[in-house]
Chain A
Amino acid sequence: MNDHDQDLDRLLRGLPRETSPPAELEERVTSALRSRGLVRSAGSDPRRRRESHRWGMAAAACLVGLLAGWAARGVYAAPEAGVPAAKGNHFLLLLSEPHGLDTSKTLPELVAEYRAWAGGLAAEGRLLAAERLTGERADLGGASSEAGDATGFFLVVADDLEAAGDIAATCPHLRYGGEVTVWRAASRDDR
């Protein structure tokens, strides 16, 4: 081995072996695992549940309502200037919180967090609509428990169910014990 080889080895050995991954990566990975049922959400961890405040159904509905109001004013009715709607299939992200939302955050903090999330979708042209569900409903032909539990929705654009699932996996709702069900809307190909 000559001097040049030794220099190269020295340089290679001196390279760092760790980097600081972006903080949001941890949230993305954890959300992805949660949506696949590989980790229980913080909301279902009994130790954390005791330490934190549990938002009731009313507060959760209020949260979704606030977001929906923002979305309807700022996104659905008047999409961001210069942001064309993304192309793809339409998916319904149905939000529910059968056990309430489990968090010590204040409502304004939660609203800011959800708003930032929805804003990211809007900026990409992926958010078509968002709305709160009132709980006023008619059950025809037998009630669906999933529909019955729903408290709000986001209508988004994604390439396929997996991509829509990836979007849903980043929804802050999951962090606090809420649940998100993804439904693909029929497209021309289905008709």
Chain B
Amino acid sequence: MNREQETQGADDRTLVERYLRERSEGAFRSLYRAHTPYLHCLALRLAGGRADEAEEAVQEAWIRAVQRLEGFAGRSRLRTWLAGFVVNCCRELRRRRPATDSSPRPEPVQAPVDGARLDVERLLAALPDGQREVLVLFELEGYTHDEIATALAIAPGTSKSRLFEARRTLRRRLDPTAEEAGG
């Protein structure tokens, strides 16, 4: 753990202790504001840019997390612990989504970025749900395949193959000549 993470950990402990002591709206809002920009970004990405679904996931994740906050042992970073709830909620919402979901392709996660990055966001959103979830968790969130397998209720081998497919799809779409060169 580096110095920045140690500082963040201390801040998180202070915020959690204050909430558990006061149970006040103000204490919760401090926690919310410290972590929701990250959680919302994660949810939006996992949901393939579906804003409504991402917001619902964040809301449900906070409800579940607050109900269990007393049991947060601090073995992991608070952000990582909270992200687990978001991952679960996104997965549940995806399962409830109609199989014939014909909603228009959502806008990608918004950020003032260059064209290449925007392209990646669009391509991520266009990936099949299973591939996108694995790619986001492995490449961006640093989960291991075993952790992904537990979080998404799939086999570790499935996680590996989905990651392989996701990367290949992205490479191919970013640069159509990559298929011949990179396979």
Q: Chain A interface (Cβ within 8 Å of chain B)? A: 2-5, 7-9, 11-12, 14-22, 25-26, 28-30, 32-34, 36, 38-42, 45, 48
Q: Are B40 and A25 in contact (CB under 8 A)?
A: yes
B42 to chain A, nearest CB (A): 8
Contact digits for B105-135, partner A, Cβ 8 Å, 1 yes 0 no: 0000111010011001100000000000000
- Determine if B36 is an interface residue (Cβ-Cβ < 8 Å): yes
Q: Are B174 and A7 in contact (CB under 8 A)?
A: yes
Q: Which of A5, A7, A11, A14 has the most CB of B within 10 A?
A: A11
Q: Are A42 and B26 in contact (CB under 8 A)?
A: yes
Residues of B within 8 A of A40 (CB): 22-25
Residues of B within 8 A of A36 (CB): 63
Q: Are B62 and A4 in contact (CB under 8 A)?
A: no
Q: Are B110 and A12 in contact (CB under 8 A)?
A: no
Residues of B within 8 A of A20 (CB): 37, 40
A150 to chain B, nearest CB (A): 24
Q: Are A18 and B41 in contact (CB under 8 A)?
A: yes
Q: How large is the interface on B (under 10, 10 to 19, 20 to 34, 35 or more residues)?
A: 35 or more
Residues of A within 8 A of B170 (CB): 8
Q: Are A16 and B113 in contact (CB under 8 A)?
A: yes
B133 to chain A, nearest CB (A): 14
Q: Are A32 and B59 in contact (CB under 8 A)?
A: yes
Residue of A nearest to B139 (CB): A12
B53 to chain A, nearest CB (A): 13
Residues of A within 8 A of B24 (CB): 39-40, 42, 45
* Complex CA distance for A32 and B56, rounded to whole angstroms: 11
* Complex CA distance for A107 and B110, rounded to whole angstroms: 37
Residue of A nearest to B42 (CB): A17
- Determine if B77 is an interface residue (Cβ-Cβ < 8 Å): no
Q: Are A19 and B44 in contact (CB under 8 A)?
A: yes
Interface segment among B27-35, B90-98, B150-158: the answer is B27-35
Known contacts A19-B40, A25-B40; A4 and B25 CB within 8 A of each other: no
Residues of A within 8 A of B37 (CB): 18-21
Q: Are B25 and A39 in contact (CB under 8 A)?
A: yes
* Complex CA distance for A15 and B121, rounded to whole angstroms: 8
Residues of A within 8 A of B33 (CB): 26
Residue of B nearest to A5 (CB): B182
Q: Are A21 and B40 in contact (CB under 8 A)?
A: yes
Q: What would be 24 A-B contacts, judged by CB atoms less than 8 Å apart?
A: A3-B182, A5-B182, A7-B174, A8-B174, A11-B116, A15-B109, A15-B121, A19-B37, A20-B40, A21-B40, A28-B55, A28-B59, A29-B32, A29-B63, A30-B29, A33-B62, A38-B28, A38-B67, A39-B24, A40-B23, A40-B25, A41-B25, A42-B24, A48-B26
Say which residue of A11, A16, A25, A38 sits within 8 Å of B36 (CB atoms). Answer: A25
Q: Are B28 and A30 in contact (CB under 8 A)?
A: yes
Q: Are B23 and A17 in contact (CB under 8 A)?
A: no
* Complex CA distance for A25 and B33, rounded to whole angstroms: 11
Q: Are A5 and B167 in contact (CB under 8 A)?
A: yes
Say which residue of B55, B67, B113, B178 sits within 8 Å of A25 (CB atoms). Answer: B55
Residues of A within 8 A of B18 (CB): none
A151 to chain B, nearest CB (A): 22
Residue of A nearest to B124 (CB): A15
- Determine if B175 is an interface residue (Cβ-Cβ < 8 Å): yes
* Complex CA distance for A16 and B38, rounded to whole angstroms: 9
* Complex CA distance for A9 and B138, rounded to whole angstroms: 12
Residues of B within 8 A of A16 (CB): 41, 109, 111, 113
